[in-house]
Structure 1
């Protein structure tokens, strides 16, 4: 059965209505009555969708987008493909936030369960053998597979699906998520809350509705008090067999490949992609919108600022290839020893005069 989604969409709206809501200008010759049905990323948008660009890393996607309209800053208006209407605005990300709020007015305050319902909502479907401990809450239209245990005080949100033989620990919350089989979610984990999405500006920070999901594949384990934000437009994805330690932060739109190991207190910024079998050492982290190649290793307390090649070993801040970082550390150590020696020699000379 196809999942019904977590957010109710309004619309469709005319291109004029969308442009007005987004604070953008309709170009000459555009059809103001054109129907816009939804908001989508550049690479996924079709004729019935509006999209946006606010990061030059995605210019290649702009060149081939099939969107009906695109929110774009004036310098990039000429680069919008001929079949796409360029909605020009000085702040495309602000416009995108307003367009999302138009289509998804309830996204900022999502529903967990039917008001007044029992702890297990009557519309939820639990297979035989599901164990729900006292104080747990199961939201409306949630689906939970046999052999799964929902511990005391845990919350499973509306329309969440959890597979078979899973464990959701005490006081954990799972919303806006599709969870596979044999997944272990330890106590205090937060899955599916909205990502840190704000259109920053001198007049204040405009909240950007987050309408994506979290997809967790089979055999994943998530440590205590780790947080995994749902996607903004696309989904946040955790690949099969990946193990995440305690106190990690996984931002919106992040993709973790299969069998990754993410050690305690890591921070993975939004839209970062990790290939399969990546290892992130404790207290390491990434900037957003970069790729860590398959089999790469990032040392503890290290922070890549750019893409990391497959199989590479990086260390330091900003992270560099391990050998390069080790040479730099050795050089600094020699320089520090030389300066210490010079200082001691000067001190001896001074005392003997």
Structure 2
């Protein structure tokens, strides 16, 4: 059975070049040392670059056979003799910078067809596609759609009537976009659904009346949306996602939700209708946020939490219901002590 490699090994580069890319200082090693690839710290072969940022792998760092290691000041003395040391403030960020240089093809999904509009795609004559747009086989582009240059619409994606998509975007395989305005450099991964009805019903004993959802979805520049995430359009105003926000797989974003700039939302989070996330909010996986609450700027919510009330800017919250983490930890410790006391009586 063949063992294909989807991202080819990069050309060798000097340690000095790596240091420049990583904004790192060479504190041990020759700047002319050649680095031929990257690897996990435990699997590194001679010539490989590794990074260290997690103490869970400290024993593996001591055994690494790598040529060089990106490492913070706290752990630089743990790097074995014979391994070059690149001292950096944030090893993981430095690692990301280096990988982007060595593997540029992994930064943006590549089109299968290479260029142009597939003869097996359906593009309405009224659609406006700038030069350099790629539309793959099976994709459908509706009436009065605008798509900017450099954007790739992957196989079987559907872009509904009137949608506007900026430049250098990727609309993933089997995704759908409707009632939406999308900025530049937005990456939509496979299976994402954007702009469908929000969940709105006037409930009553005689049945549930559907409330028409007449808003839009506005997605600003440099947003990334993970596979099988759903973004409902607004009910009576717009659902909005701010620039630079990164959304993981299988996230549900309800109608009228407003997400600020540079937020991070991890997989399986549910954002109920009309909640607001201010800039730089981070939410851990499988957390639920009740409708009409506001999570303040820079707040962090632990995974598997339930947010029922507003969270102040900079707050660190967790639990069910979510509360300040110090209080949450105290409560968990008290419950644990009670449980231990019960087992000894």
The TM-score with structure 2 as length reference comes to 0.65
Matches within 5 A, 1:104-119: 119=122
Does residue 319 (structure 1) correspond to residue 322 (structure 2)? The answer is: yes
1:137: which partner in 2?
140
2:236: which partner in 1?
233
Separation in structure 2 between the aligned mates of residue 246 and residue 212 of structure 1, nearest angstrom: 24
Separation in structure 2 between the aligned mates of residue 308 and residue 215 of structure 1, nearest angstrom: 24
The CA deviation at 1:128 is 0.2
Deviating beyond 2 angstroms after TM superposition, the runs of 4 or more aligned structure 1 residues are none
Does residue 252 (structure 1) correspond to residue 260 (structure 2)? The answer is: no
1:178: which partner in 2?
181
Which consecutive unaligned segments of at least 5 residues does structure 1 have?
1-117, 343-353
Task: Provide the aligned C-alpha RMSD in A.
Answer: 0.6
The CA deviation at 1:133 is 0.2
Structure number with higher relative contact order (C-alpha < 8 Å, ≥ 6 residues apart): 1
Separation in structure 2 between the aligned mates of residue 153 and residue 132 of structure 1, nearest angstrom: 9
Tell me the SS of whatever aligns to 2:207: coil
1:158: which partner in 2?
161
Separation in structure 2 between the aligned mates of residue 277 and residue 253 of structure 1, nearest angstrom: 19
Separation in structure 1 between the aligned mates of residue 184 and residue 128 of structure 2, nearest angstrom: 16
Matches within 5 A, 1:1-353: 119-342=122-345
Deviations 1:13-37 (A, max 9, x none): xxxxxxxxxxxxxxxxxxxxxxxxx
Separation in structure 2 between the aligned mates of residue 130 and residue 211 of structure 1, nearest angstrom: 29
Separation in structure 1 between the aligned mates of residue 238 and residue 156 of structure 2, nearest angstrom: 27
Which consecutive unaligned segments of at least 5 residues does structure 2 have?
1-120
Deviations 1:242-275 (A, max 9, x none): 0000000000000000000000000000000000
Tell me the SS of whatever aligns to 2:218: strand
Deviations 1:148-201 (A, max 9, x none): 000000000100000000000100000000000000000000000010000011
Tell me which protein shows more strand as a share of its residues.
2
The CA deviation at 1:285 is 1.3
Residues paired across the two proteins, number: 225
Separation in structure 2 between the aligned mates of residue 207 and residue 249 of structure 1, nearest angstrom: 20
Tell me the SS of whatever aligns to 2:205: coil
Deviations 1:201-237 (A, max 9, x none): 1111100000000000000000000000000010000
